[in-house]
Structure 1
Amino acid sequence: MLRYNVIAGGVCLLLVSSVLTLRGEVGPEVKVRLLEDIKFLASDELEGRGVGTNGLNVASQFIKAEFAKSGLAVDRVEGNAFQKFDLVTGSKLGEANALQLIGPEGKTLDLKIGEQVEVCSFAGSGSFQGEIVFCGYGIESKDDLYDDFEGINVEGKVVIVMRRNPRQNDPKNPLGAAHGVSRHADLRTKMNNIVAHKAAAVLFVNDPYAGKKGAETRQEGLSKANEKVAEAAEEYLSIESNETNQEKLKGARLKLTEASNQAKSLREAAKNANDDALMKFGYAGNGDNKSLPPAFHISIKTCNELLAALKTDLASLEAAIDSDLKPKSVVIPGWIAKGAATIEKVRADVANVIGVIDGEGPLANETVIIGAHYDHVGRGGQNSLAPGSSEIHNGADDNASGTVTLLELARRFGKQAQTKKPPRRLVFIAFTGEELGLLGSARYCKEPVFPLDSTIAMMNMDMVGRLKEEKLIVYGTGTSPRWEPELKQFNGENGF
């Protein structure tokens, strides 16, 4: 039978030593309660507990009710358990959104929003007009001796910036990344550089390499799939058709059918592929309307129409930068851009849920916080591992597991406090907005219910639903000299 501490195995900090007095075998009623609570919090009815959903509100009410049933005070935030605030959950387009490119001899490109150009939700609102400057990848890296802004003034102008970074096929590229996305490729980094150089607006464009690489990857996948079809067909035809071989024929036929279907699926995907897909509105999150310039995403085709004034195209400029890793920023003669972006922020009311057990004795005014976030990602989006999905993301492990552990600790400490109060105040907080950037915990730090200078420790539980090989994952042990000795004692006594 697992000890209770195993359930809280993924904690970021150990609680003060008083928590060890609550050790004990977990009874069947506790297991049932934990399971039922997780089933409820991770049910479809709670809509993935996404910010802005009614399911998150239902979860907050449930947590408050459980805190109250456990004997915790739920009136310490202006008479309630809810530390309320609002936050941005998304963006929507306002009425005025347009991009017009005006070239030599009166040539005009009026780009249709949503088809030929997309507004970038991660940027700002406003109108603009200015000369167009090709500005490479929008990278400024003094350490790597690469600066797309060096020697060219983009203040008040509209810059064309490629996505990602140079030399993507070079693992030793100083502007790349060993794993994942280079910091220079991050859209936020590019926007920060653009803001620093006071550009009026941004026209993002896909780098040709990414599209070419995508096409090559699809072709490789299709070639392998066709090889599997050929192998499966050869295997099927090699089996003599008689009564003895009926099961072999059946298996080989099934294998051939599966290989054929896979190849057909890949052919359809290749046929419908768009190697220059525009970032849909909402991609990469929401920006700050006040501090960021407007940004749009144009196609490579549109970009090449502008670059024709320089007798070049985007693929040639990309290749030139890759050849010597030197910027090729330049004003595009005869072209100006004018337009406007209107982005309206969608906001939602949210709340941290707070329950309190008062301390008793000389240390009663000191606070220990026990926390877990109860929000998840709702129906997916940018913070999901499947950002293209709109299915409910139930979040059983992340972080219904931490939430039900928080509730169980509240029950145990609440029961103990009926006969003996703890030496310090225990504050149980179910945080919201974690998936959007630790916003709930940040709000508590900004507006603490109890002074931070007398808050001596915090235990946070995140994704504690899995345990492998009897191992606990504990982070933050270096934040106090007490944690490692406590851990060693705990591990010795419990066989971890």
Structure 2
Amino acid sequence: MKVTHLIILFIIFQYSCFSQDLYKEVSEKKLFENIKYLSKKELGGRLSGSIGYEKALQFAEKQFKSYGLKSERQNFLLEFNDILKPAVFQYENEQEKMDFKIGKDYILRCFSGSGNLNTDIVFCGYGISNHELGYDDYFGIDVKGKVVIVFKQNPEWEINDTTKWTAIYPRDKALIAFSHGAIGIIFVSKPNDANPQSIIGSSMENHSIDQVNIPQIHATIETINKIFESNNFDIKALQSDIDKNKTPKSFALKGKVKININTNYVKQQPTSNLYAIIEGSDSLLKNEYLILGAHLDHVGVQAEDVYFPGANDNASGSATILELARVFSLHKIKPKRSIIFVLFAAEENGMLGSKYFAENCPVPVKNVVSMFNFDCIAHGDSILVRCGELFPELWNIAKENNKYINMMVDKTTNSSVADAEAFFKEGIPTLYFVTTNTYTHLHLQTDTPETINKQLHRKITQLAYLTTLNVANTNKTFWH
């Protein structure tokens, strides 16, 4: 009996060592190959609902299958907008003509409407019309049949201390412009901000209101200032004047803009989350689950030529999910708890995929012991694991495993955001893996594989593997 007992203990010890050492199997090459594929132009920036996103799904399905895992799709509907050719934006007055280039001088809002315009332009400050607050950038100004230029962001100041600005999203401001008769809107970032927002691809909008079917452009500060300088105005000075006096300063500009935008809007377009499960080895604990998730989507392509690769955001997180599935499939004996590997759709639309998954979880939510989110994890210089103040015991498992990695910083956060948020709201403990200084190329055309820190990406994936292994092999729960 003693001999049999010793043999069993020896086998368990050998398995434990084997499982722990498998973190070394995480492949920098495979991670980078997955990023390169998902970032290819033929995938068109992986906008949820697009042909490119479907190609990304099929790629992931083949990967899961090659690891011996059966994947399942979880289908739902969302808004979708295909921005087609042509994309024309010109300005002309009596003295000069300016021809602006998409991707360099301007970008379209993801849910821009269509229009072929040749009309007057009006500057309307912050694009706010709020009668309750007594603030109206459109008061006394005629914008019917014209294009308005407005600041994309709201003022830092408020009219009073209790009421917030309600026009939060660009779609809100587009609707305000449209309700006053405008037939197009051009957004410009506030030039006096410390770090004015670049022209970015974005599908984050207020989905509670319908698409506003007018052209919606986000132009660079330099582009707008060229128009203003030809009218003897300076955009920075205008913002300063409005902010100082907290009063509108709207006026018509000389010259005309020519805009030709062609889009195909679909109110309800099918898209999918994708998940696969490795069943646990323990007869009881296999009914408990650890979810590893990352969003597969990005912000798409515009007029065929301008696309957003999304290498770090979030081909990196998706590559890590696939690589973790591969390494865990190498286990001779699976972890005690079951592991769900999931790729979310529509994070860029407002975390719609993770919300749908959490609310329609394929396993009982009460049996999910934790969820790890991976987003923007391959650019920067070190590893940050968020949510540690909410779930210190869970975070400490990651910190303990940092002895093998030596790249995790000591700081953490007290909030659960992005795709982790929906699971937190369902009562599931979360960790959010990210890298420090990771957002250099966020939603820009420069988010390419060339910007990836390959060693860092491997290290954070190794840390994720070790942390997952520990959580999957314990019977502890982590709600704080």
TM-score by length of 1: 0.49
Determine helix, strand or coil for the equivalent of 2:175: helix
How far apart are 1:404 and its partner, in Å? 0.8
2:428 aligns with none
Alpha-carbon spacing, 1:393–1:98, altered in 2? closer, same or farther (3 Å): closer
1:450 paired to 2:363: yes
How far apart are 1:328 and its partner, in Å? 3.5
1:77 aligns with none
Alpha-carbon spacing, 1:97–1:458, altered in 2? closer, same or farther (3 Å): same
Rg larger in structure: 1
Alpha-carbon spacing, 1:59–1:486, altered in 2? closer, same or farther (3 Å): same
Q: Is the 8 A contact 2:296 2:345 kept in 1?
A: yes
Match of 1:91 among 82, 89, 112: 82
1:408 aligns with 327
1:195 aligns with 175
Q: Is the 8 A contact 1:38 1:401 kept in 2?
A: yes
Alignment map for 1:47-446 (pairs within 5 Å)? 47=40, 50-51=45-46, 52-53=51-52, 56-67=56-67, 69=68, 74=70, 81-85=72-76, 91-93=82-84, 121-124=110-113, 134-139=123-128, 147-149=135-137, 160-163=148-151, 189-195=169-175, 198-201=179-182, 202-204=184-186, 284-285=202-203, 290-292=210-212, 294-296=214-216, 318=238, 321=241, 324-330=244-250, 343-345=263-265, 349-357=271-279, 365=287, 367-373=288-294, 375=296, 393=311, 397-412=316-331, 415-417=332-334, 422=336, 425-434=338-347, 438-446=351-359
Q: Is the 8 A contact 2:122 2:143 kept in 1?
A: no
1:38 paired to 2:38: no
Which ranges in structure 2 are unaligned for 5 or more consecutive residues?
1-12, 159-163, 409-480
Cα root mean square deviation, aligned: 6.4
How far apart are 1:97 and its partner, in Å? 10
CA distance in 2, matches of 1:437, 1:339: 29
CA distance in 2, matches of 1:89, 1:291: 10
Q: Is the 8 A contact 2:124 2:137 kept in 1?
A: yes
Q: Show CA shifts across 1:170-208 (max 9, x none).
A: xxx759xxxxxxx99xx9635424535743434327589
Greater share of residues in strand: 2
CA distance in 2, matches of 1:84, 1:166: 35
Determine helix, strand or coil for the equivalent of 1:24: helix
CA distance in 2, matches of 1:482, 1:21: 27
CA distance in 2, matches of 1:359, 1:26: 13
**More contact order relative to length (CA 8 Å, sep ≥ 6):** 1
CA distance in 1, matches of 2:62, 2:245: 57
CA distance in 2, matches of 1:159, 1:58: 42
Q: Is the 8 A contact 1:352 1:431 kept in 2?
A: yes
CA distance in 1, matches of 2:56, 2:138: 48
What amino acid sits opposite 1:62 in the alignment? Answer: K
How far apart are 1:162 and its partner, in Å? 3.2
Q: Is the 8 A contact 1:402 1:462 kept in 2?
A: no
1:218 aligns with none
Size of the aligned set, in residue pairs, is 362
How far apart are 1:344 and its partner, in Å? 0.9
CA distance in 1, matches of 2:342, 2:140: 51
Alpha-carbon spacing, 1:368–1:322, altered in 2? closer, same or farther (3 Å): same
CA distance in 2, matches of 1:476, 1:483: 9
Alpha-carbon spacing, 1:128–1:199, altered in 2? closer, same or farther (3 Å): farther
How far apart are 1:46 and its partner, in Å? 7.4
TM-score by length of 2: 0.50
How far apart are 1:82 and its partner, in Å? 2.4
Identity %: 15
How far apart are 1:65 and its partner, in Å? 1.1
Alpha-carbon spacing, 1:131–1:58, altered in 2? closer, same or farther (3 Å): closer
What amino acid sits opposite 1:192 in the alignment? Answer: D
CA distance in 1, matches of 2:20, 2:374: 21
